[in-house]
């Protein structure tokens, strides 16, 4: 068998390596435009920042090693220019010499990945303006930083790469600003989680301008970037990072008649087969099914690329191993804050037609008395009628990867909030609380689903509502440290005697530090005849807006 | 001048700040209280509390997951 693979980062090389094991006699060839193969693309920001000291640490295997150890031919700096499905050939150009050659194949795997979306603005071609797509980009940026002459940077785009780059540029002592066209950073996360992450970045000196478009990049006399102009301001920039999203790199496949969607995403079935016989597609250029909604989506993640690259090999001659799809599980670290998600966001769940209930629950990440514990905030999203858990997000300076993976597994298995509440999870003080963060969140959600209490998300609390009665039931010193503007303070211990200061007919929102005291207060007020009582989800701990 | 020591390790909100509040109320101007806490949220809280109550944060250190703040009355 002649197996030809277009693309050699994660999915392509994974497929090549497994094909070599499964089909020892196959002739396996990788064709890639890049000068490097098999590198850890997701590690690039950390190499830029210096946490990974040398570029070679990110390279899993070189072309020579592929040849010598695996008998796989790797052609770097080679570009596929045309696929002829009828003749089973691919026309390939050597980017160094310009020479063209035809490569016959029996099976073709397209793993051409994605390319950055470049804003069509003046100054995009200036020096010191860079994407962060490959090792070549990252080495160039690192070399610039190592000169010590850069002082300011603007990152265009507040997605994962943008946030990771902001952190890593700040590690070099640069003053960093992020400009994001959308109203929030951290796409795919609920607005409270994104707002808390934004606050954390600001605390670490990163300026964030959301809802602003970049109109122009300014240059100096040497043709180097010197500033960025947005709709609202001009920012100094010795370095400009373009991280405003990526799109599938599939023009050659589409021209050959391989079915793509409007974005150019190659549509594949669960066996990674394209619409054309003997042509498969994996990684960042191919569609994946959302395992909750069933919709074909674009989810360009390294984890998916590795999985599909490995799976496709089993399906070259017959549909054998199906890819179950994705559920949007992702995680990011910015400075000392960690944010992770799995399943559907609140917005995605509503868009898919689910009637949902949500909670936002701060807890320690291990026993509250154990030194080193940190607060994490768990958001759960469940369908009201079935109690099925649809999505979860966890943010905080503590451990979030453990709960998110537990929740991801639960969601994949169709877990209900009731079942989550009863999970037998690992417990001992250095690692967890007796009731783990996920179980506490499930219990709060069950109280809400049972109608015992109603909540309001910080992003939905209308502080400008003149009828609103905002009651803070924390102690006086806590209230003094930070309170929501307009909140009146009646500590929980005094609520019974001082209840008369409140109007039972007005809509009342009760707030405390995490929600526990607010819940007790809300129950007490409801029993006393207050008709419209809600608690502030997540309390002051998850409140991402101004305090006084 | 008295130096008080408050072990508030293991206490969750509002425990540590309440203990400090009570101690400072009873203390004389110039007295200090060294409070040790395992709730990391205390780190931010204590700075704001001292500023707003016009007490002096003499030092704020963290070692092996334990925060120690020394506060002087006045």
Which of A366, A270, A358, A279 lies closest to A320, judged by CA? A270
Confidence of residue B32 (pLDDT cuts 50, 70, 90): very high
Q: What angle do CA A477, A482, A488 make, to 5 degrees?
A: 75
Q: Give the distance, in angstroms, between the CA of residue A18 and the centroid of all CA atoms in the same chain.
A: 28
Separation in Å, CA of B1 to nearest CA in chain A:
24
Contact A313, A15 (CB under 8 A): yes
Residues of B in contact with A514 (CB under 8 A): 13
CA nearest to B9 within chain A: A369
pLDDT along chain A (548 residues), means of 10: 96 96 96 93 94 93 93 97 98 97 98 95 97 94 96 97 97 97 95 97 97 97 98 98 96 98 96 98 97 94 96 98 96 97 98 97 96 96 98 98 98 98 97 97 98 95 91 96 96 97 96 96 97 97 95
> Which residue of chain B is at minimal alpha-carbon distance from A514?
B13
Nearest CA in chain A to B19: A477
With CA atoms as reference, report the closest residue to A37 among A72, A10, A70: A10
Interface contact B12-A368, CB threshold 8 A? yes
* ipTM computed for the complex: 0.91
Q: Are B38 and A373 an interchain contact pair (Cβ–Cβ within 8 Å)?
A: yes
Topology adopted by domain B3-72: Translation Initiation Factor IF3 (3.30.110)
What is the C-alpha radius of gyration for chain A, rounded to an integer number of angstroms?
Answer: 26
Classify residue A179 by burial, with Cβ atoms within 10 Å: 0-12, 13-18, 19+: buried
Contact B48 A481 (CB under 8 A): yes
Encoding tokens for residue A355?
């009637």
Q: How far is the C-alpha of B6 from the C-alpha of B4, rounded, in Å? A: 7
CB pairs under 8 A between A and B: 57
Contact B41/A at CB under 8 A:
yes
| Rounded Cα distance, A428 and A449, in Å | 30
Say whether pLDDT at B51 is over 90: yes
Structure tokens belonging to residue A86: 């009828």
C-alpha to C-alpha distance for A9 and A56, rounded to whole angstroms? 14
| CA-based nearest residue in chain B for residue A541 | B41
Q: Is B8 helix (H, G, I), strand (E, B) or coil?
A: strand
pLDDT number for residue B13: 79
CA angle B19, B25, B29 (to 5 degrees): 125
Domains of chain A: 2-114+247-315 (3.50.50.60), 129-244 (3.50.50.60), 336-452 (3.50.50.60), 456-542 (3.40.250.10)
State the best of B35, B41, B71 to mutate against chain A, taking most chain A CBs within 10 Å. Answer: B41
Find the chain A residues whose C-beta atoms sit closer than 8 A to any C-beta of B.
364, 368-375, 397, 474-478, 480-482, 513-514, 541
Within an 8 Å CB–CB cutoff, is residue B38 touching chain A? yes
Residues of A in contact with B9 (CB under 8 A): 369, 371
Measured between alpha carbons, how far is A187 from A65 in angstroms, rounded to an integer?
38
B/e letters for A137-165, b = 16+ CB within 10 Å, e = fewer, are bbbbbbebbeeeebebbbbbbbbbbbbbb
- Predicted confidence at residue A159, as pLDDT, reads 95
Domain ranges of chain B: 3-72
Over 90: is that where the pLDDT of B14 sits? no
Q: Which chain A residues have a beta carbon less than 8 Å from that of B13?
A: 478, 513-514
Tell me the backbone φ, ψ of residue A225, rounded to 5 degrees: -60, 140
**pLDDT the model gives residue A539:** 97
Please classify residue B68 by burial: count the beta carbons closer than 10 Å to its beta carbon, then call 0-12 exposed, 13-18 middle and 19+ buried.
Answer: middle
Tokens representing A277 are 């016989």
DSSP class of residue A67 equals I
Tell me how far apart the alpha carbons of residues A33 and A251 are, in angstroms, rounded to a whole number. 14
Rounded to an integer, what distance in angstroms lies between the CA atom of residue A92 and that of residue B11? 67
In the prediction, which pLDDT does B12 show?
A: 86
pTM score of the predicted model: 0.94
Give the model's pLDDT for residue A464. 87
A65: left (phi over 0), alpha (psi -120 to 50) or beta: alpha
pLDDT value of position A540: 97
Strand intervals (E) in A365-467: 375-383, 389-396, 454-456
For residue A369, list chain B residues with Cβ-Cβ distance below 8 A. Answer: 9-11, 38
Window B:5-34, CB contacts with A under 8 Å: 9-14, 17-18, 20-21
Burial class (CB in 10 A: 0-12, 13-18, 19+), B10: middle
A42 a catalytic residue: yes
Note whether A477 contacts B17, CB cutoff 8 Å: yes
> For all residues of chain B together, what is the average pLDDT?
93
What are the chain A neighbours of B66 within 8 Å (beta carbons)? 371
Say what the pLDDT of residue A168 is: 97
Q: How confident is the model at residue B74 (pLDDT cuts 50, 70, 90)?
A: confident
């Amino acid at each position: 068998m002649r197996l030809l693979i277009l693309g050699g980062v994660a999915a392509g090389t994974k497929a090549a390596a497994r094909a070599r094991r499964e089909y020892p006699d196959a002739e396996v060839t990788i064709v890639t435009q890049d000068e490097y193969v098999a590198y850890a693309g997701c590690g690039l920001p950390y190499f830029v920042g210096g946490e990974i000291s040398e570029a070679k640490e990110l390279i899993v295997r070189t072309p020579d090693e592929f040849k010598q150890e695996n008998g796989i031919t790797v052609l770097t700096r080679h570009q596929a220019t045309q696929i002829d499905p009828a003749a089973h050939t691919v026309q390939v150009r050597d980017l160094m010499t310009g020479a063209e050659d035809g490569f016959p194949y029996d099976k073709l795997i397209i793993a051409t990945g994605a390319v950055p979306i470049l804003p069509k603005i003046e100054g995009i071609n200036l020096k010191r303006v860079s994407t962060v797509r490959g090792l070549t980009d990252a080495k160039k940026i690192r070399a610039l930083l190592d000169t010590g002459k850069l002082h300011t940077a603007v990152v265009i785009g507040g997605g994962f790469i943008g946030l990771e780059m902001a952190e890593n540029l700040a590690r070099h002592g640069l003053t960093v600003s992020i400009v994001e066209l959308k109203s929030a950073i951290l796409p795919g996360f609920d607005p409270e989680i994104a707002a808390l992450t934004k606050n954390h970045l600001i605390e670490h000196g990163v300026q964030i301008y959301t809802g602003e478009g970049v109109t122009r990049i300014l240059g100096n006399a040497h043709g180097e970037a010197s500033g960025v102009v947005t709709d609202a301001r001009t920012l100094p920039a010795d370095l400009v990072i373009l991280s405003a999203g990526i799109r599938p790199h599939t023009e050659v496949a589409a021209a050959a008649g391989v079915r793509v969607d409007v974005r150019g995403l190659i549509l594949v079935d669960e066996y990674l087969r394209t619409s054309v016989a003997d042509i498969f597609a994996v990684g960042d250029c191919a569609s994946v099914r959302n395992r909750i909604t069933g919709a074909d989506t674009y989810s360009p993640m390294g984890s998916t690329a590795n999985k599909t690259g490995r799976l496709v090999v089993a399906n070259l001659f017959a549909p054998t191993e199906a890819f179950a799809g994705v559920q949007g599980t992702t995680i990011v670290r910015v400075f000392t804050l960690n944010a992770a998600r799995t399943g559907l966001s609140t917005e995605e769940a509503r868009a898919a037609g689910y009637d949902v209930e949500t909670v936002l629950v701060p807890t320690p990440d291990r026993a509250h008395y154990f030194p080193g514990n940190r607060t994490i905030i768990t958001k759960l999203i469940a369908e009201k009628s079935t109690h099925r858990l649809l999505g979860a997000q966890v943010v905080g300076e503590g451990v979030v990867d453990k709960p998110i993976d537990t929740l991801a597994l639960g969601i994949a298995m169709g877990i209900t909030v009731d079942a989550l509440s009863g999970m037998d999870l690992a417990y001992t003080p250095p690692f967890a609380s007796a009731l783990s963060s996920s179980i506490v969140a499930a219990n709060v959600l069950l109280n809400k689903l049972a109608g015992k209490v109603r909540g309001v998300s910080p992003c939905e609390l209308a502080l400008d509502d003149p009828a609103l009665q905002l009651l803070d039931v924390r102690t006086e010193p806590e209230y003094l440290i930070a309170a929501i503007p307009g909140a009146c303070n009646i500590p929980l211990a005094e609520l019974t005697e001082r209840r008369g200061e409140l109007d039972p007919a007005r809509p009342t929102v009760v707030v405390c530090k995490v929600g526990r005291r607010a819940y007790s207060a809300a129950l007490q007020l409801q029993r006393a005849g207050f008709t419209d009582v809600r608690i502030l989800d997540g309390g002051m701990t998850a409140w991402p807006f101004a305090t006084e | 001048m008295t130096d008080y020591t408050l072990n508030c390790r293991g206490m969750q909100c509002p425990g540590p700040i309440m203990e400090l509040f009570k101690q400072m109320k009873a203390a004389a101007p110039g007295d200090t209280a060294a409070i040790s806490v395992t709730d990391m949220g205390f780190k931010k809280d204590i700075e704001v509390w001292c500023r707003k109550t016009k007490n002096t944060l003499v030092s704020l250190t963290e070692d092996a997951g334990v925060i120690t703040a020394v506060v002087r009355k006045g």
